[in-house]
Amino acid sequence: MTEWSVRDPEAVRGALAGALGRPAAEGARLVALSYLHQLQGGHETTEQLHQARVALRRLRAAARDHAALLDVLRDRRIRRSLRALARATSPRRDAEMQLAWLAAEAPTCGVEAQEEAGVLRARLTAELEQRESTPPLTKAFARHLDRHVDTLFDALATYTLHHRVGPSDAVVPFGRHVAQRLVHRGARLQQRLAHVRDVDDVPALHAVRLELKRHRALLAPFARDEAALGAWFERATRGQDLLGAARDAHLVAQTARRAGLAALAVAARGVCRAHHAAFLADWCAHPDAVANACRDAAAALRDRYPMQRADGLPLEIERKYLLRGCPPEAAASAPRRIEQGWLPGETLRERLRRVTHADGTVVCTRTVKLGRPGARVEVEEATTPELFAALWPLTRGARVRKLRHVVPEGAHRWEVDVFLDRELVLAEIELESEQEEVTVPTWLAPWVARDVTDDVTFLNTNLARPEP
């Protein structure tokens, strides 16, 4: 077996590439380890300090998002030390940021503001030179980080899986865990956006900026490699950049005001308000689009990383309900047209499915399901339209056609299927475990006739009919 060490940054980086498909506890540890290595990368130069601060912020975000999976990061002493290190690195970074802002923005200000910018630039430069003459950051890293490094590496190197004797416990892939956290973060973001009143509501917009940072910290290790996450990550980045530019201007305005540089304070405040206005127009004016983009990323991630058995086989855990009709809330969502048929077979029956989305996108898959209703092994892969067309005639003896309406509900999705060849409407919800309790939402409850999860009559394979 190849030697592998959590203290080897290259090994951790390589393992991180497949972390979303690993058990949740392992994926969370790989993320934390990657940030720990980045945090140890140095802090002497401006760029190194920036990278260290980003890694520190994301390590602390991982401690919050994956709290149930990262016991060591719940240790109060370690949490206090990481918080203290963040405070210790802020003054130098803030001064450097304000100098960068003055260099970029001051030339566009009025003459008086430009003169005052020169005064402030001299003061900030003197402060930085004074800090450089002593090693406060070196002491801060030694005091707050270095003494915990061995503890962190040792604790993150292993984890324990608990198995209940008897049942075949499902394993939650880290990708699915990240999807759950993304749904939670999306709800928090919606709350933050709803609290923003106008361009002068600095505290509310700052809270939105922090939430976007947490979104990016959650997705950063995987955004480049996972198309499902990339679009939302890029959108969150643009939003954070706008609010970050506003925050920089706001800090310069505060510093200038305290220094009695009134013209510069007014100019910086104007830049801050302009960035806030751009953010409000792009985000606060379109809350539904923002919510849908975040939700779509989480849904795609859940689809890509299904639940697993302990042996690694993908597992479908669901509850199915017979409905009296299609609820208006479901009918309001644009349906996907589903055509599926089964190749002839007794013990092994392979399903072909073609899904046509509302935007015209067509997705073809081949699937084999094994086991009892409610919790079955489900092996699925995408296939080409050409192969689908070649095999489709073989399914003439067993086909189903239906419209599927998808309604998000918290961390889950309800899928309402309206069959096109009979009077039948079914609702399904996919779960994380067989023990998970299902709360039927108020919009669906009046339409539920009964739970048919264990009724094999309502398996799609048994509902399939011959077509001429």
Kindly report, residue by residue over 232-248, the tens digit of the pLDDT: 999 999 999 999 999 99
Task: Name the band, by pLDDT with cuts 50, 70 and 90, for residue 98.
Answer: very high
- Range 43-73 burial, b when 16+ CB lie within 10 A, else e: beeeeebebbbbbbbbbbbbbebbeebbebb
Find the mean pLDDT for residues 178-203: 94
pLDDT at position 271:
95
**Percent with pLDDT over 70 in the chain:** 96
| Class of residue 330 by CB neighbours under 10 A (exposed 0-12, middle 13-18, buried 19+) | buried
Q: Output the CA torsion sign for 108, 109, 114, 118.
A: negative
pLDDT(1) > 60:
no
| Tens-place pLDDT, residues 249-268 | 999 999 999 999 999 999 99
Average pLDDT over all residues of the chain: 90
Inform me whether the pLDDT recorded for 87 exceeds 80.
Answer: yes
Burial class (CB in 10 A: 0-12, 13-18, 19+), 435: exposed
- In this predicted structure, the answer to whether residue 134 has a pLDDT above a threshold of 70 is no
Residue 390 has which token pair? 């070649």
Percentage of the residues of the chain whose pLDDT score is greater than 90:
68
Check the CA dihedral 342-374-437-170 and report its sign. negative
Q: Average of pLDDT values for 87-107?
A: 90
Please tell me the CATH code under which domain 313-463 is placed. 2.40.320.10
Q: How far apart are the first and last CA of the chain?
A: 57
pLDDT exceeds 70 at position 135:
no
Identify the residue with better confidence: 313 or 196: 196
* Nearest by Cα to 84 from 62, 103, 60, 68: 60
Q: What is the pLDDT of residue 128?
A: 81
Q: What is the mean pLDDT of residues 366-373?
A: 82
- Nearest partner of 463 among 405, 406, 408, 419, judged by Cα: 419
> What's the CA gap between 105 and 271, in Å, rounded?
9
User: Which residues sit opposite 450 in a β-bridge?
Assistant: 322
More confident residue, 329 or 296: 329
Q: How far is CA 12 from CA 48, 72, 142, 229, 245, in A?
A: 20, 18, 23, 21, 33
- Asked whether the predicted pLDDT for residue 131 surpasses 90, the reply is no
| Over residues 315-324, mean pLDDT | 90
CA 118/CA 123 separation, integer angstroms:
9
9-297 domain in CATH 1.40.20.10? Answer: yes
Q: 132-139: which pairs have CB atoms within 8 A and are 24 or more residues apart?
A: 136/88, 137/43, 137/49, 137/88, 137/89, 137/92, 138/43
Where are any strands of DSSP class E within 289-331?
A: 307-308, 314-323
Per-residue confidence band for 90, with pLDDT thresholds at 50, 70 and 90: confident
DSSP state string for 16-37: HTTGGGSBHHHHHHHHHHHHHH
Residues 6+ apart with CB under 8 A from 351: 340, 341, 342, 343, 366, 367, 368, 369, 460, 461
- Structure confidence by residue, pLDDT tens digits, 339-350: 999 999 887 889
- Residue-level pLDDT at 166: 64
CA distance 244 to 132: 26
Q: Which of 87-91, 411-415, 441-445 has the highest mean pLDDT?
A: 441-445
What is d(CA 238, CA 236) in angstroms, rounded to the nearest whole number?
Answer: 5
Q: What are the structural domain ranges in the chain? A: 9-297, 313-463
Work out whether the CA dihedral 408, 381, 425, 339 comes out positive or negative: positive
What is the residue-wise DSSP string for 411-453?
TEEEEEEEESSSS-EEEEEE-S-TT------TTTGGGEEEE-T
